[in-house]
Structure 1
Amino acid sequence: MEEMLFFYAMRINAVTRTRGKYLMTADALGQFVAYCKKIQPQTQQDIKKFFEGVVGFPYDKELLLQAYLFLNITDLFPTCAELLLFEKSPIADYTDLGKCDFVYLTSYKKLFLIETKFIDTEATGATERKRRNKHRNKVFEQVITLKSRFSEYWDIKLEELECGVFTTDPEIDWRGNGVNVVTKSVSIEKLEKWRQNYNYMNNI
């Protein structure tokens, strides 16, 4: 599966060299940002309040991981400057093609797609090991596929799109090498300690 992902990423990069000749223009970026504001009008402060609520009442592990990402974005992915979309399709009117967990505007005026996955690294047994490996492969497949579809729909060169993966499994950290995916992780233990400290420091 890892070889397939590598091949797929390399094929996309090869296609990029023969596709559109134009970098992402200010107009193209403006159109996409306008689309984002239309389907997700909440302010950055509104989104922060939502994620702080998740930290206070962590009813979903995946959402808690996403809250950690949003509230620590500058440490994890330093170029990410503004959240444009959360759990929305970056491809207008085509939600069946998949939602992206996070789409950020970077400080370099590029777009950064991030997929997250809470992977249970504490469970034991052969079945759990197979499930973990499936989740590792799936999250990379998702972000690479979204990047390709995003590029085709919005007519944006792949070089103008960055992508990343964020999970609770440090085993994925090396997998982004060679497929142009930035990989970051936080352990389940550290995630829980952060949640407790964040609640204490912010009186949640």
Structure 2
Amino acid sequence: MIANELNKFVSYCKIIQPQSREDIKKFFEGVILFPYDKELLLQAYLFLNLKILFPWCTELLLFEKSPIADYTDLGKCDFVYLTTQGNLFIIETKFIDTAATGATERKRRNKHRNKVFDQVMTLKSRFSEYWNIDKEQLECGVFTTDPEVDWRGNGVNVITKSISIEHLEAWRRGYKKDN
């Protein structure tokens, strides 16, 4: 029964996510050439280096879409992938400015760290409730520019990965389209 609900969700995604993997790759390559948004650059890195970061992810089901019809007020997923185990893997990304200093910036960073975990856990619950998918079939990941989040996922069963802003920028400068 549960697998049937997951299959319904996968079928739904194929309808609302009309872009092919190749179309999304071209979009992200454009972001790399003209990085007008730091969050999109982080997402481009994740998308183009997925097999290194989250090797169990196989098929992109959703990118920047609501998992619940068109109710974007209930939250959009940055990425939802099907995994090699037949589960869903929800990934939220957050560009966190780690270079800024001062008390206000420390507070902002901490708010962003908490927010990205809240987002992914809330999406997991909404997936489970709306689509009637067993929470055991829903896995979560967070990808940021802040290594401080790496340990935060342990207690809440969220897989965390990060890249430094410097490494992200070096990757962008060195990216070749034929990768």
Alignment check: 8 A CA contact 2:144 2:161 kept: yes
Letter paired with 1:85: L
Aligned to 1:156: 133
Aligned to 1:9: none
For the aligned residues, what is the CA RMSD? 1.3
Aligned mate of 1:47, from 6, 15, 24: 24
Aligned mate of 2:166, from 189, 192, 199: 189
Structure 1 unaligned segments of length 5 or more: list them.
1-21
Aligned to 1:93: 70
Aligned to 1:3: none
Shift of 1:40: 1.1
Paired residues in the alignment total 179
Aligned to 1:59: 36
Distance 2:168 2:84 in 1: 27
Aligned to 2:107: 130
Shift of 1:31: 1.4
Of stretches 164-173 and 86-95 in structure 1, the one that deviates more from structure 2 is 86-95
Structure 2 unaligned segments of length 5 or more: list them.
none
Aligned to 1:202: 177
Shift of 1:89: 0.4
Task: State the SS of the aligned residue for 2:90.
Answer: strand
Superposition pairs of residues 132-147 of structure 1, within 5 angstroms: 132-147=109-124
Whichever of the two has the greater Rg, that structure is 1
Distance 1:59 1:96 in 2: 25
Shift of 1:30: 2.4
Q: TM-score, normalised by structure 1?
A: 0.85
- Measured against aligned partners, the alpha-carbon deviations of 1:161-188 in whole angstroms (never above 9, x if no partner) come to 0000000000000000010000000000
Shift of 1:102: 0.5
Shift of 1:203: 7.2
- Measured against aligned partners, the alpha-carbon deviations of 1:103-138 in whole angstroms (never above 9, x if no partner) come to 001111110000000000001111000000000000
Q: How high is the sequence identity, in percent, across the aligned residues?
A: 77
Shift of 1:39: 1.1
Task: State the SS of the aligned residue for 1:121.
Answer: coil
Aligned to 1:110: 87
Aligned mate of 2:47, from 65, 70, 78: 70
Distance 2:87 2:104 in 1: 40
Task: State the SS of the aligned residue for 1:114.
Answer: strand
Aligned to 1:167: 144
Distance 1:30 1:179 in 2: 26
Shift of 1:95: 1.9
Provide closer, same or farther for how the CA distance between residues 109 and 203 of structure 1 changes in structure 2, counting only shifts above 3 A.
closer
Shift of 1:58: 0.5
